[in-house]
Structure 1
Amino acid sequence: MARAGDSIPAVNLKLLHTFMLVGESRSFRTAADRAHRSGSAVSSQIRKLEEQLGLPLFHRTTRQVTLTREGEQLLQCVRRALGEVESGLLAIQEAADIQRGRIALACAPTIAGAYLGRVLAAFERRYPGIQVSVRELTAAALFESVRKREVDLGISVATDSPEFRFEPLLSDELVALVPRALLPDLRKTISLKALAAMPLLVLEQGTALRTIVEQALGAQGLQLTTRFQFMHSQTLISMATAGLGAAILPSTALPAPLDPAVQRLRIVRPTLVRHMAIVTLPGHALSPAATRLVEMFRKILAVHS
């Protein structure tokens, strides 16, 4: 039996964890189920702990198990101690992940063109040990990539799909890039109806931007008619500059300054806004490395948007 002045018994964490399970559940059977061990193995561990400490930790009867006064005191200490150990291990794992992590990212082309270069450059300087692979995908392909777990996260337009979790990142107004040959008078806005009467330049099917435009036109009883469909916003800008039609684009995709051959107009009646988000699967927690990348995105967006 331990006496005052004796050295502290070398009690291992496994015994303390088993004791905490029994102490919290007040049941050897429940503790055994939670530990995935047999009831006799749990009882044996508790007896061993009591022998090492030299005092009983539980009052046992045929109907119930209760803690002794010393058992209550030990339970509080063990909870604190194991909580500290768990926090320490998580911190170490996070540090290791940040030093040697890998991230697979899928990104909408317009966001990639506007921000991704600055984000990746800053991220690489801050976390040189993390390897980031990037796929530039349209919305339909991006959602499929997230669904199949081919990437850790995506950056795309938020939808109402319950299949995905959307964490807001950026709200981006859509604007019209109109050739001065089509609309020579200077103005700041254009209605969606007036815009629809012009030859329109839009992105191809499967892009989130195309879906937003088609839905907005449909709500106004208008139809999208276009001879040209493109994959990248930069191509739309070039075609509008050449005078082939009016392009509908996210404001973040437009260069500054604009070519004198075109003017940028806000779309009104109605205004069109896309809401960009971090796309993951419900219940899927981002790794510490991926979380740091999202933080870097938010930091860069706050400065440049």
Structure 2
Amino acid sequence: MLAVTLKPGLTVNLNLLQTFVLVARYQSFKEASDHTGRSRSAISAQIRQLEEQLGLALFERTTRSVSLTAHGSALLDGVQDSFDRMCVGICGLSDDAGARSRSVAFACSNSLSGSIIPEILAEFRARHPGLHIDLLEMPRYQMSAPVLAGDVDFALGPVLCDDDPTLRIDVLGEEPFVAVVPRDRRAAYGETVSLRQLATAPLLLLTRRSMTWQALDRAARRQGLTLSTSHESINYRTLITMAEIGTGVAVLPKSATLHVETDRCVVLDIDDPQTNRRIGLISARGRPLSRTASDLMALIRCRFATCAWLSPATAPGG
């Protein structure tokens, strides 16, 4: 039973109020009966039940007509206004849901947004003409708040095994870190570079709050090494440019180096399997996604599954 408590000891069935509005509108039990598909006696019984709950006569009945009493008129004004506001609220929710279905917003780490994501978004727009997509570039440590607040539908970026339990994590794979070495220093290294070699070089790294810096620091500490940072930046493109002009060696996620100009520098793999990060889709646990957001996440999963620079996730790690 759908009911509302008006005051202590007075609970009114909302179905009875709906029947009351119909009888008042049509000024007829028969027409209210025809409209609802219920018998006239059932309609009459509901009105009597409502009058008993309120302790008031709502209609004056004769064999020929039905009319509202003063109490009935007052009740109709209040109930009709409430029902109208309820309809407006429900329609507003429906409009909001429709607007959300025509748009999607997601956060993405800078390295990924500049590599494979533009192609994915172009493909998705072709499938969904007129769709509005908001792409917010930000480091991983800033992603949780907008995801949990609902400011974005989901996020794409690095994940940890001990991420916030209120987040749903869908790991897509593991991405290696690589070293961007100035071409004139290429002879100092082999086909790959070791962490021990990097520990003696002036390093260009993302900021200490980034998961890239933290993962590299953990990997170095496992070997008893301390990395020497020459410059930190929130922008991976800045670090690549600095490596190109010979300032130092940039260590970055592989995805950030896909479009590096090789005439000024060279990209080398790091020969330590621990120097990687796990990439995943991040959403709020328990909050349903719109169909559009779910479709975009599915396309991202599909395209990331074919990335040559992404390997299947194995043991948990940074």
Q: TM-score range by the shorter chain?
A: 0.5 to 0.7
Instruction: Indicate how the Cα distance of structure 1 residues 284 and 180 shifts in structure 2: closer, same or farther if over 3 A, else same.
Output: same
> What is the CA deviation profile of residues 185-222 of structure 1, one whole-angstrom value per residue up to 9, with x for unaligned ones?
56222211211111101012332212212222233222
Unmatched 5+ stretches in structure 1 = 1-31, 43-48, 52-92
CA contact (8 A) 1:157 1:274 kept: yes
Q: Name 2:225's counterpart in structure 1.
A: 222
CA contact (8 A) 2:201 2:228 kept: no
Q: Distance in 1 between matches of 2:201 and 2:228?
A: 9
Q: Name 2:71's counterpart in structure 1.
A: none
CA contact (8 A) 1:97 1:288 kept: no
Q: Name 2:257's counterpart in structure 1.
A: 254
Matched, 1:179 2:182: yes
CA contact (8 A) 1:99 1:127 kept: no
RMSD of aligned C-alpha atoms? Answer: 3.0
Aligned letter for 2:123?
A: A
CA contact (8 A) 2:203 2:228 kept: yes
Q: Distance in 1 between matches of 2:295 and 2:305?
A: 15
Deviation larger for 273-282 or 258-267? 258-267
Q: Distance in 1 between matches of 2:117 and 2:272?
A: 32
Deviation larger for 100-109 or 181-190? 181-190
Instruction: Indicate how the Cα distance of structure 1 residues 184 and 149 shifts in structure 2: closer, same or farther if over 3 A, else same.
Output: same
Q: Name 2:43's counterpart in structure 1.
A: none
Q: Name 1:158's counterpart in structure 2.
A: 159
CA contact (8 A) 1:175 1:248 kept: yes
Instruction: Indicate how the Cα distance of structure 1 residues 194 and 148 shifts in structure 2: closer, same or farther if over 3 A, else same.
Output: same
Give the 3-state SS of the residue equivalent to 1:280 in structure 2.
strand
Aligned letter for 1:111?
A: L
Q: Name 1:110's counterpart in structure 2.
A: 111
Instruction: Identify the match of residue 196 of structure 1 among 199, 205, 209.
Output: 199
Instruction: Identify the match of residue 208 of structure 2 among 205, 210, 213.
Output: 205
Q: Distance in 1 between matches of 2:189 and 2:199?
A: 19
Deviation larger for 137-146 or 293-302? 293-302
Instruction: Identify the match of residue 264 of structure 1 among 244, 267, 278.
Output: 267
Q: Distance in 1 between matches of 2:194 and 2:101?
A: 51
Aligned letter for 2:294?
A: T
CA contact (8 A) 1:107 1:135 kept: yes
1:178 deviation in Å? 1.7
> What is the CA deviation profile of residues 57-116 of structure 1, one whole-angstrom value per residue up to 9, with x for unaligned ones?
xxxxxxxxxxxxxxxxxxxxxxxxxxxxxxxxxxxx9xx859942212111001100022
Give the 3-state SS of the residue equivalent to 2:104 in structure 1.
strand
Q: Name 2:289's counterpart in structure 1.
A: 286
> What is the CA deviation profile of residues 279-305 of structure 1, one whole-angstrom value per residue up to 9, with x for unaligned ones?
112112221110111122233334554
Compute the TM-score of the two structures, normalised by the length of structure 2: 0.62
Q: Distance in 2 between matches of 1:152 and 1:300?
A: 19
Give the 3-state SS of the residue equivalent to 1:259 in structure 2.
coil
Q: Name 1:298's counterpart in structure 2.
A: 301
Give the 3-state SS of the residue equivalent to 1:222 in structure 2.
coil
CA contact (8 A) 1:172 1:276 kept: yes
CA contact (8 A) 2:181 2:266 kept: yes
Give the 3-state SS of the residue equivalent to 1:283 in structure 2.
coil
Q: Name 1:149's counterpart in structure 2.
A: 150
Same amino acid, percent of matched pairs: 27
Give the 3-state SS of the residue equivalent to 1:206 in structure 2.
coil
Instruction: Indicate how the Cα distance of structure 1 residues 186 and 192 shifts in structure 2: closer, same or farther if over 3 A, else same.
Output: closer
Unmatched 5+ stretches in structure 2 = 5-10, 16-36, 40-93, 309-318
Q: Name 1:121's counterpart in structure 2.
A: 122
Compute the TM-score of the two structures, normalised by the length of structure 1: 0.64
Instruction: Indicate how the Cα distance of structure 1 residues 99 and 218 shifts in structure 2: closer, same or farther if over 3 A, else same.
Output: closer
1:183 deviation in Å? 4.0
Instruction: Identify the match of residue 168 of structure 1 among 171, 175, 183.
Output: 171
Q: Distance in 1 between matches of 2:99 and 2:187?
A: 54
1:137 deviation in Å? 0.5
Instruction: Indicate how the Cα distance of structure 1 residues 41 and 229 shifts in structure 2: closer, same or farther if over 3 A, else same.
Output: closer
Instruction: Identify the match of residue 238 of structure 2 among 225, 235, 238.
Output: 235
Higher-Rg member (1/2): 2
Matched, 1:276 2:268: no
Q: Distance in 1 between matches of 2:144 and 2:227?
A: 25
